[in-house]
Structure 1
Amino acid sequence: MNLTLIGIGTGNPEHLTLQAIRAINAQDLILIPHKGEGKADLAELRRAICDEVLTNPQTQITGFDLPVRDEATANYRQRVDDWHDAIAQCWQQAIAAHPKAEKVALLVWGDPSLYDSTLRIASRLSPVPQIEVIAGITSLQALTAAHAIPINEIGAPFVVTTGRRLRDEGWPQGIDTLAIMLDGTCAFQSLPPEGVHIWWGGYVGMKEQILCSGPLTEVSDQIIKMRAAARAEHGWIMDIYILRKAGV
């Protein structure tokens, strides 16, 4: 069995590459995860993308329910590993229900290479399939495009990390620009805000896109309120932001 992981960008069908469109139409089966009622929009967006670009009448689309991650286990890494094992079992069952499907695909938000565990989960399948990856536009690319900024200064490095690590470990030494992903608690609140500029975006690339930027001292509260209001309205939110020390 061949498994193709297709990066679909951040929810905008126009983010699809021609390679991604060809790959979608080459499949026997496309798996679409359901993440619960609060995130039903994500499954619907994947189906909408298929409705727009899928022209192969032989391609089947099937949904499956994602298991909920156990938050009771104290060890974060163990929680994630157990969750990935459970997701792999769901994939296995969904694929087994279509025994004639030799080409199977998942539509991956953004790109499978950046803070996404689809490749790790795929390696848990038995037998491990032949895996192909189709690159997609990442939320980081969509954010820099939305704000019309480069991610790095001339010749300077930057760090892509998570909200949890920013909150627990602080600003990394020797780095002036940070890209923060997977932040459910607005971890920028844990930093001394003076001299820091933030470029924030929610639902970047989608029709719901909201943006805010400015000195962290001036826009921190505004971002927190915007994020809370958007999550209340939609039932979920995907957001990302860049932090840069002023004068760099």
Structure 2
Amino acid sequence: MLTLSLIGIGCGDPGQLTLAAVRAINAADLILIPRKGAAKADLADLRRTICEQVLDNQRARLAEFDLPVRDAEGEDYRKGVDDWHDAVAQAWSGEIARHLGDRGKVALLIWGDPSLYDSSLRIARRLQPAPTIEVVPGVTAIQALCAAHRIPLNEIAEPFLVTTGRRLRDAGWPVGIDTVVVMLDGGAAFQSLDSKGVHIWWGACLGMPDQLIMAGPLAEVGPAIVAARQEARASHGWIMDTYILRRNAPRA
């Protein structure tokens, strides 16, 4: 029997690990650590650091591998993602077969939580042979962002919407919603909005030593956020940021 554990590890701070995550890491026979190129070496380094801090299981093996690169230039976005998922599933299957065979427990340390804008569950269902899948929830970037700014996510009795930078840029502000959470934004999509009456809470590298946060009226702090994003990307070669937009000034 092959079991694959997708373990949410939060946003980079080992202190965000739950006790369930620590138990799942120590139950693994094999821990896969994907490499995403030199520009994102920090992500693999942090996974190694987490294992060094919490792993007591001496039989567990760590296996690093290069993650296939998604073709971001294709015209058909969904097909590009689908093809990439197939390639990643093949990479996972190859590493599992090489290091473990078809029996044992495999773990993948998932940034944030496996259920929120993460492809690991979809990829896991493509594996052959099909494993038993276990999920250990983790702290999401949204929770880390709210904690960093010390704010509640929702207004009293009001809904909020979680979306992507691509959707915000292409479709504009969602109808009937005053609070929008934006993830996976590669190009500061908030610049496409009418900033009047909009407040933003922004964070990058949340939970990591280089965490950045800014907040204020979008018209005032938007340019500073764009500059900070560019500087962080130039410095690290990558950036992961999340932000909340809310219409009308925040209440005291």
- Normalization by structure 1: what TM-score? 0.98
- Give the equivalent residue in structure 1 for 2:120: 118
Q: Which of the numbers 191, 211, 219 marks the counterpart of 1:217? A: 219
Give % identity: 62
Unaligned runs of 5+ in 1: none
- Give the equivalent residue in structure 1 for 2:195: 193
- Give the equivalent residue in structure 1 for 2:11: 10
Query: Match for 1:201: what amino acid?
Result: G
SS of 2:108 mapped into structure 1: strand
SS of 1:97 mapped into structure 2: helix
- Give the equivalent residue in structure 1 for 2:82: 81
Q: Does residue 96 of structure 2 align to residue 64 of structure 1? A: no
- Give the equivalent residue in structure 2 for 1:54: 55
Partner deviation per Cα, 1:67-108 (whole Å, 9 max, x = no partner)? 111134211000000000000000010001023551001000
Task: Within 5 Å, give how 1:103-182 maps onto structure 2.
Answer: 103-182=105-184
How much does 1:236 deviate? 1.0
Query: Match for 1:175: what amino acid?
Result: I
Q: Does residue 18 of structure 2 align to residue 32 of structure 1? A: no
How much does 1:247 deviate? 4.2
**Contact 2:113/2:137 (CA < 8 Å) preserved in 1?**
yes
Query: Match for 1:102: what amino acid?
Result: G
SS of 1:204 mapped into structure 2: coil
Partner deviation per Cα, 1:23-77 (whole Å, 9 max, x = no partner)? 1000000000000000000000000000000011100000110111113421100
Partner deviation per Cα, 1:216-241 (whole Å, 9 max, x = no partner)? 01001000001110111111111000
Partner deviation per Cα, 1:88-131 (whole Å, 9 max, x = no partner)? 00001000102355100100000001100100000000122100
Partner deviation per Cα, 1:138-167 (whole Å, 9 max, x = no partner)? 000000000000010000000000000000
What is the alpha-carbon distance in structure 2 between the residues aligned to residue 247 and residue 16 of structure 1?
34
- Give the equivalent residue in structure 2 for 1:45: 46
What is the alpha-carbon distance in structure 2 between the residues aligned to residue 72 and residue 246 of structure 1?
37
Q: CA RMSD in A?
A: 0.9
Unaligned runs of 5+ in 2: none
Q: Which of the numbers 235, 238, 247 marks the counterpart of 1:236? A: 238
SS of 2:99 mapped into structure 1: coil
What is the alpha-carbon distance in structure 1 between the residues aligned to residue 7 and residue 63 of structure 2?
16
Partner deviation per Cα, 1:173-219 (whole Å, 9 max, x = no partner)? 00000000000100000000110000000001111100000000100
What is the alpha-carbon distance in structure 1 between the residues aligned to residue 51 and residue 168 of structure 2?
37
- Normalization by structure 2: what TM-score? 0.97
